[in-house]
Amino acid sequence: MRKLLVLLLLFLCLSTIPAQEDFERTIWQLSPFYPAQEHSEQAIWIQNYVKGRLEKADIPYSEVPLNTLKERHSFATNISVVLPGTGDQNLVIAVPMAEHGSATCTALALELAEYFSKQEHVSQIQILFLGADFIGARVSAEEFQEGKYTLFYLNFQGVPEKIILQTGNKEHITPYWMVNFCNRSLQKASLSFNLKPEQNILYSIGMIPDPSPLDIYLDAGVTALMMYGKQGEKNQSAAIWAESFCRFVEDFEKRELTHHENEDQNYFIMQLGYTYFIFTEFYIMIFFLVITGSILFYIILHTKQAKNYLHIFIKNIFIVFWTTMMLFIFFQISTWISELFLKVTRLDTQWQAIIPELISLKVLISLGLLILLLPTYSQFKQHNLGNFYSGTAVITALLDMVIFMAIEFSFAAYFTWSLLCIFVFAVAKRRYIKFICMILSGLFFIRTIHGILFYPALNLCHDLIFSSMWTNLYLAIFILPFIFMGIRIFYVLPFKVQLKHRLTKVLGYAALVILTVLAFRFIYLYRPFNDNNKQLVNAVEFYDLDEKRGTLTFESDYKLGNIQVKNGDDEIDISSKEKRLIYDIQMPQEEVSVWAATSRFLERKTIEFHVATNGKPDQLYITLKAPSKDEKIIILDSTYPYKIQNDTVSFFIGKNQPMPFELKVTTHKSSAFDAQIDICYSTMPFDFIFLGENKYCKTSLILSKKLSFYEEK
């Protein structure tokens, strides 16, 4: 009996070893082929590998060509694996095979396909390998519009230490129920993740415009969510992580994924340690009504005190206008200084790399000027000025709530919490309670701002750094309650007035000194690039096949500095403070053939464009342009999709097209136009050596040819 048990245990151990090693081995086999462009040789190898693995596991699949869209085209295909379930709900797991794809994503999708093909599950699970990120997503989204689908888009760049969830875009937000189910299932599977509480607000106000394939599914009405993350620094078992992810999907798909009545998109995410609490719009509304109702009830019970506060506020209302005006001026000054600082340091195009520093610069400028302004408030000799500042903090907090909740309801939870703390601040008698309430009132705002700076939400950060006059006015109104609380705290400190004034001067000058030191450091010592953050230099070679001449353009967001380039037989040494340099160069000895054959029948004219090269270009652009804006080009037929815009026709030709290439276009006999053919390479077909300290080069080669087709007389 013992021997039998030992043999069984040994068999179980041996049977689990290949399963554990299989995921890591798959990553190892796929890694050399990433990154891969769509329909490139690497992408074709990956696609064949996926099909081979599916066939070996006896998992049926289908291939969907990506050449069916009217305004998009790709030579690649999607691979779709459909695993029927016992219920009527549909769960889709989409992964990119090229472009933004990775070995980890592809290996994980294969692991999921093999895992769920061997066991019973409730949902119909579809594993979708996208041959081209955006086009592949768009083709599949057309299919998913016809039913109720729940979709995960996986975009892992390595086995992530922490999974990050993207729950929307600038127009749509993933419904509450899916985010809530994800939260529970990820916790149950013991997977570390980050919901980023601030992101839904950024989506709501349209401050994350960067497009992603998730946008396509959300815009098509599909309930979707994206998971992404980079390789973590900690060494963790890839096989164990993949097993945990399979358990997550298994737990998620068993939940009721269809016919949800609650499509709430106005929910509030609160993080406490590693735990997330998600509150729906209903609970946010209850919280709002309870707090505002309690405040109103307190005011009714203390009508005399409320009238006194209101009387003092009206009597000294000019202080509110004066403070708002001064804050607006300080923010405007800090904006001008920030812009000047970036120009002096030549970092005007690199501001994205120093967002926290620039925000700190604006805060220090405004804070220093504001502290130096504090002694002037002692000139206001009105009675009960302390009560005025407390009451004004509450009134301006209400004003903030009305203004910003009108802009976006998602702000409700933040401003309701802030109003509660400010109200307690106003009615509290003890100094330490006032101080605690002042800190707590901005707690969620500080957490959100921190998340925005390190997200980063570039659009919002740009608006904060390079603020327009209206943005500065909104900022001034937003921080009014906190300023009045700060002034109230300042005047309840147990120090003499003269000592307070000296203290404010010391703090104000200290802020300005720190600001000067930081500015000096950035102007003279700051080096924006290092081994981990190298400067991108774009090298674009452009050759006019008609004129037999070419140019080599070097361009960067920062000064080029010292660069050495060997371009075929030419050697170029650059030492420049400019951001852009252009050199005339010789025509490369590359065999390129571009020609067109024209045939006519009745009122039609058919043109066959032919392009042949030795190498394989990454992209081919063919554009037809009429002689004048008043003339139109009439397209009757084309072998590739196209777009007509005013006097220009652009053809959509997928990346890594086959060579030689042919395009047949049928137009009206009277159509007259010039055809521009641009052949683009991302890898030079000849020797190109680039040397530069803390720099890397992105090369492009463009061969241009122009053909003319005029009206037949």
pLDDT digits (tens, 9 = 90+) for 123-163: 889 999 998 888 888 888 888 877 788 899 999 988 898 89
- The pLDDT value recorded for residue 39 is 86
Position 312 in a domain? yes
3-state helix, strand, coil in the chain (%, to 5): 45, 25, 30
Position 530 in a domain? no
Does position 412 have pLDDT exceeding 50, yes or no?
A: yes
Retrieve residue 209's tokens: 């415009």
Q: How many domains does the chain have?
A: 3
- The pLDDT value recorded for residue 46 is 92
Q: 38 and 74, same structural domain?
A: yes
From the list 691, 687, 690, 697, the residue with the least C-alpha distance to 569 is 687
Q: 316 and 251, same structural domain?
A: no
From the list 612, 268, 272, 314, the residue with the least C-alpha distance to 409 is 268
Share of the chain above pLDDT 70, in %: 87
Q: 449 and 380, same structural domain?
A: yes
Position 400 in a domain? yes
CATH number at residue 638: 2.60.40
Q: Where are the alpha helices (DSSP H) in 145-219?
A: 176-188, 199-204, 213-219
Q: 423 and 295, same structural domain?
A: yes
Domain limit, last residue, from 231, 252, 279: 279
Most confident among 305-309, 537-541, 582-586 (mean pLDDT): 537-541
Q: How far is CA 67 from the centre of its chain?
A: 28
Confidence of residue 62 (pLDDT cuts 50, 70, 90): very high
Query: How many Å apart are CA 231 and CA 104, to the nearest integer?
Result: 10
Query: How many Å apart are CA 485 and CA 426, to the nearest integer?
Result: 9
Most confident among 409-413, 482-486, 522-526 (mean pLDDT): 482-486
Q: Please, are residues 664 and 683 in contact by the beta-carbon 8 Å criterion?
A: no
Confidence of residue 414 (pLDDT cuts 50, 70, 90): confident
Position 392 in a domain? yes
Q: 569 and 500, same structural domain?
A: no
Does position 238 have pLDDT exceeding 90, yes or no?
A: no
Does position 529 have pLDDT exceeding 70, yes or no?
A: yes
Question: Mean per-residue pLDDT for 385-396?
Answer: 81
Retrieve residue 144's tokens: 């998913």
Q: 443 and 399, same structural domain?
A: yes
The H or E element spanning position 599 is strand 592-601
**Pairing mode, strands 90-96 and 124-130:** parallel
Choice among 10-19, 217-226, 313-322 with the minimum mean pLDDT: 10-19
Confidence of residue 383 (pLDDT cuts 50, 70, 90): very low
For residue 471, what are the CA distances in angstroms to 150, 322, 474? Answer: 38, 18, 5
Domain limit, last residue, from 279, 313, 329: 279
CA-atom Rg of the chain in angstroms: 32
Q: 695 and 549, same structural domain?
A: yes
Query: Quick one: DSSP state of residue 259?
Result: S
- The pLDDT value recorded for residue 453 is 67
From the list 592, 566, 602, 581, the residue with the least C-alpha distance to 680 is 592
Does position 1 have pLDDT exceeding 60, yes or no?
A: no
Does position 534 have pLDDT exceeding 90, yes or no?
A: no
Position 531 in a domain? no
Confidence of residue 269 (pLDDT cuts 50, 70, 90): confident
Does position 222 have pLDDT exceeding 60, yes or no?
A: yes
Most confident among 114-118, 350-354, 581-585 (mean pLDDT): 114-118
CATH number at residue 201: 3.40.630.10
Each residue's pLDDT tens digit, 196-205: 877 777 777 7
Beta bridge partners of 535: 695
Q: 385 and 466, same structural domain?
A: yes
Tell me the pLDDT of the chain averaged across its residues.
Answer: 81
Full domain range(s) for residue 551: 536-713
Q: 292 and 211, same structural domain?
A: no
Position 568 in a domain? yes
Q: 255 and 347, same structural domain?
A: no
Position 541 in a domain? yes
Q: 545 and 518, same structural domain?
A: no
Q: 472 and 439, same structural domain?
A: yes
Choice among 257-261, 263-267, 289-293, 556-560 with the minimum mean pLDDT: 257-261
Share of the chain above pLDDT 90, in %: 12
Domain limit, last residue, from 220, 249, 279: 279
Position 198 in a domain? yes
- The pLDDT value recorded for residue 95 is 94
Choice among 450-459, 595-604, 620-629 with the minimum mean pLDDT: 450-459
